[in-house]
Structure 1
Amino acid sequence: MKFSLKRTIFMQELQTVQRAISSKTTIPILTGVKILVTEEGLTLTGSNADISIETFLSVQDENSLLQIEETGKIVLQARFFSEIIRRLPEEEVSIEMLENNQVAITSGKAHFTINGLDADNYPHLPVIETENQMKLPVHVLNKLIAETGFAVSQHESRPILTGVHFILSDQKLLAVATDSHRLSQRVIPIEQAVENFDIVIPGKSLIELSRSLTDEEELVEISIMENQVLFKTETMYFYSRLLEGKYPDTNRLIPSSFNTEIDFYVPTLLAAIERASLLSHEGRNNIVRLTLDADSVVLSGNSPEVGKVEESLSYEKVTGEPLELSFNPDYMKAALRAFGDMSVTVKFISAVRPFTLEPTESSVEFIQLITPVRTN
C-alpha cells in the first residue's frame, strides 16, 4: 500500500470516521481506523457497538490530489494516527505500508513509522438489502433530527425512549421522541411508498449523523434491515444499530381539547424564559411560573438563595380561562429553539395537565408537549 494526498482533506475524512471510534471498547481493533486503498480511491472506516462510518475519497476528486501507487489495507490506532496527520509540517502527506503491518508516514522533513494491525481481522460491516429504501434531502433530515432529537430520554432505564421513532405511512414521515416529561413530534409529507418503515434510531446516533452530513451533499438514501439502518450519501455510509422493542403509542398522549390558548412570537418568549432561568438555575428548584388572565401574561421565578424575577410577557393573543402553572424552563427553551423564527400557539388544559406548543401557521405539522411541574 502506498499513496499520497492533501493533508487537510485527509484530516476531514479522518475526523468524520472518528465520530464512530470509541477509546473505551472491549474489542481492541475497534480503537483503530481501517484504511483501504483500491485503484478507485481511499476508503476509511470507523466503528463501535452502535455506529459505523465509512467514507470514500475518489481518485477523481481533484481537490484531494490523491495519488495511488500501490493498493492495500491496514488498521491504525485512530487517535494517535490523526494527531500525527494533524501536526505534520507540509500540506502533502505520503503513507506507505512496510513489513509486519508497519506504516511509514512522511511529510516534508517529518518521518514517522507506526505499528498497525491486520485489516483482515476488522469486523465486516452489514450487507444492507436494497428493497426498503427511502430518499430524503439532507437538509430535511438534519431539520428532523434538530426538531426531535433533543427530547429523547438520557436514562437507560427505558432504552426504547433513548431513540427517535420514525414511521412512514400514507406518504407522511412521522418522527417522534419523548422522555416521558416532554414530547416532540414532527410530520413531513414524502412522496415515497416504503413498506414496514417503522424504526427507532438511538438519539446519539442521529446527533453524530447530523454532524457528519455536509451541506455539499443533497440527498441521503435510507435503507433498513433487521437491526441496522444505513444512511448513504455519495461519499459516506453511516450505519446505526436500531433499538429493539415497541415504542409507546404517543398519539394518545396528545390532548385534543383545551381551556386556554395563547399566541407568542418564539424569539421574544425564548429571550424572556432565558432571563427567568438565570435565577432558577442557581436555586434548588429549576422551575418558573406562568400566570395568565385576559389582560396580562406574567413570567416569574423565585429562588430563595438568590432572589426573584418577574416579567410581563409580550403576546399576540390570548383566549380562554385564567391559569397559573409551573414548568421546567430548560424543556421550554429546547422546545422553542426547535421552532426557530415563527409564532407558536401554546394550549393549556389545567395547571397539572401537559400543555402543547404548535406553529400558529397550520401548514406545518409540528407539535411539542411539556408536562408542568406540580408545586404545593
Structure 2
Amino acid sequence: MEFTIQRDQFTHAINTVSKAVSSRTTIPILTGIKIVAHEDGIILTASDSDISIEQYIPAESGEHQWIENITPGSIVLPSRFLGEIVRKLPGEQVTISVHDRFVTTISSGRSQFNLNGMNAEDYPRLPQIEENQVLSMPADLLKTMIRQTVFAVATTETRPILTGVMWSLENGELTFVATDSHRLTTRKATVESAAGLSFHNVVIPGKSLLELSKILSDDDKLVDIVITDNQILAKVNQILFYSRILDGTYPDTSRIIPQNMKTEMILSTKEFLGAIERASLLARDGKNNVVRLFTRPDGVIEISSNIPEVGTVTEEIVPSSTEGEDVKISFNAKYMIDSLRVVDSTEIRIGFTGAMSPFIIRPTDHDWILHLILPVRTNQ
C-alpha cells in the first residue's frame, strides 16, 4: 500500500477517528487506526468496542486533489504515534508506504519515520447496518439536544441503563430523556423520518453522545441516523459514527413529572443562575452542595446557603411573577446550575409542588425542554 496525501486533511481525519481509540483496551489492535487505500480514496477507522468512527477521504473533491499515487492496500498503525508524527511533519504532503512485515514508512520533506504496523485483516469489522429506516436532522439541532440532556446521565455504573440518554421517536417527534435518579431532563424536536418509523427505549451511552457531539458541525447540514437492535449509526459529511445501544429497559420517567403546581414563578435565567452560582461558592464545600430558596411576604425570593464551618451567603431576586403558595425548599446547587446553563432562554418558569416533591424548570418561550430536580431534605 502507498499513497501521498495533503497533511492537513490527513491530520483532521486522524484527529476525528482517534476519538474512538481507547487507551485502556486489552485488545492491542484496537490501539491503532486502520487505514485502507482504494483507487478513489482512503478510509480511516478506529474503535473501542463501544464506539467506532470511520472517515472517508476522497482522492479528489471539486477542484482539490487530496490524495495522489494510490496503490491499494491496508494497514493498522498505532494511534498514539501516528497522530503526533503526522501533525509535526514539515511538508504539506505526507507519503505512507507499507513494506514487508507491515513496517510502514511515513515521510514528508526531509523527515522519515518507520513505524511497526499490524495486519488490517485482524481488525474487527464494523457492523453491517440496513439503512431502510432512516431519520434525518440538522447537525446543530442534534448537537444542541445532546448538550441539553447528556449532563444529567448517571456517572456511576450502579444502574448501567441510567448512564445513557433514552431516545424515542413517535409521529416524527424525537425525544431525548436523561436521568441519574436525582434529576431528569427531556428535550423534544421534530425531525424528518421514514414513513411509519417509530422506536422507544433506545438508550445510547452518554460517553458515546459526547464523542458524537465533538464531530458534529455547527450548521444545519443533515445528519442521517439509523437505529438497529443493538447499534446506532450516524452519517455526517464523510464520517460514519457507530455506537452500541445499552441493554435493559429505561424507567418510565413520565410518572414522576408532576402535573399540578402549587406555586409557579417566572425568573430571569441569567439573574437566577448568577445567584445560584454565588450561593454555591460556599455550598460546594458542604455535603450535598445544598442551597435553600424561599419566598418572602414582600414577593422577594431569598436564596441562601449556610455551611457552619465556612460561613453564610444570602441572595435576593425579584421574580417577574409569582403565583400560589409560599415556597421553602432546598436543592443541590450543581443540579440547578447544570440545568440553567443549557436552557438557552432569557426567562424560565419554575413550578413547585411541595417542600419534598420534585420541581420543574421550563423556558417561558417554548415547551421543547423540561428539567426536573428532586429537593434535598435538610435539618434546618
* TM-score, normalisation: structure 2: 0.95
| Alpha-carbon distance in 1 for matches of 2:24, 2:368 | 40
Q: Is the partner of 2:60 in helix, strand or coil?
A: coil
Tell me, what secondary structure is at the counterpart of 1:123? coil
Could you tell me the percent identity over the aligned residues? Answer: 44
- 1:314 equivalenced with 2:318 (yes/no): yes
The residue number in structure 1 matching 2:339 is 335
1:27-38 superposed matches below 5 A: 27-38=27-38
Equivalent-residue separation in structure 2 for 1:69 and 1:358 (angstroms): 55
Supply the AA of the counterpart residue of 1:13: A
Letter in 2 for 1:25: T
**Deviation readout 1:302-332 (Å, 9 max, x if unpaired):** 1222211101013211111111111111100
DSSP 3-state at the match of 2:154: coil
Quote the residue 2:12 is aligned against: 12
Contact 1:217 1:234 in 2 (8 A): no
**Paired letter, 1:32:** G
SS at match of 1:277: helix
Matched, 1:302 2:306: yes
Please say if residues 356 and 370 of structure 1, whose CA atoms lie closer than 8 Å, have aligned partners that are also in contact.
Answer: yes
Is 1:99 aligned with 2:103?
no
Q: Which residue of 1 aligns with 2:180?
A: 179
- What letter corresponds to residue 179 of structure 1 in structure 2? D
Paired residues of 2:9 and 2:66 also in contact (CA < 8 A): no
Instruction: Could you tell me which runs of 5 or more consecutive residues in structure 2 were left unpaired when the two chains were aligned.
Output: none
How far 1:208 moved relative to its partner?
A: 0.3
Report the number of matched residues.
Answer: 375
Match of 2:222 in 1: 219
> Does the 8 A contact of 1:268 with 1:314 survive in 2?
no
Counterparts of 1:144-155 in structure 2 under 5 Å? Answer: 144-155=145-156
Rounded Cα–Cα distance in structure 2 between residues aligned with 1:315 and 1:63: 57
1:86 is aligned to 87
Gaps of at least 5 residues in structure 1 are none
Identify which range, 210-219 or 166-175, moves more after superposition. 210-219
Whether the aligned pair in 2 keeps the contact of 1:134 and 1:194 (CA below 8 Å) is no
Alignment of 1:130-149 (within 5 A): 130-149=131-150
- Code of the residue aligned with 1:190 in structure 2: it is V
Aligned to 1:94, the other structure's residue is in SS state strand
- Residue in 1 aligned with 2:41? 41
CA distance in 2, matches of 1:205, 1:72: 30
**Aligned-pair CA distance for 1:63:** 5.2
Q: Which residue of 2 aligns with 1:210?
A: 213
Superposed CA offset, 1:313-371 (max 9, x none): 1321111111111111110011011102321100001111010001112x432111000
Say which SS state the counterpart of residue 342 (structure 2) adopts.
helix
Aligned amino acid, residue 217 of structure 2: T
Give 1:211 shift. 0.4
Output the CA distance in 1 between the equivalents of 2:126 and 2:68. 26
CA distance in 2 between partners of 1:194 and 1:25 (Å) = 40
* Superimposed CA distance per residue, residues 100-119 of structure 1 (whole angstroms, 9 cap, x where no aligned partner): 11110111111111110110
Secondary structure of 1:117's aligned partner? coil
Question: In the aligned structure 1, how far is the partner of 2:65 from the partner of 2:124?
Answer: 28
Counterpart of 2:238 in structure 1 is 235
Further displaced range: 287-296 or 174-183: 287-296
Amino acid at match of 1:317: S
Matched, 1:111 2:119: no
The equivalent of 1:269 in structure 2 is 272
1:9 to partner: Cα distance: 2.0
Question: What displacement does 1:216 show?
Answer: 5.9
Q: How large is the Cα RMSD of the aligned pairs?
A: 1.5
1-side partners of 2:203 and 2:224: how far apart? Answer: 17
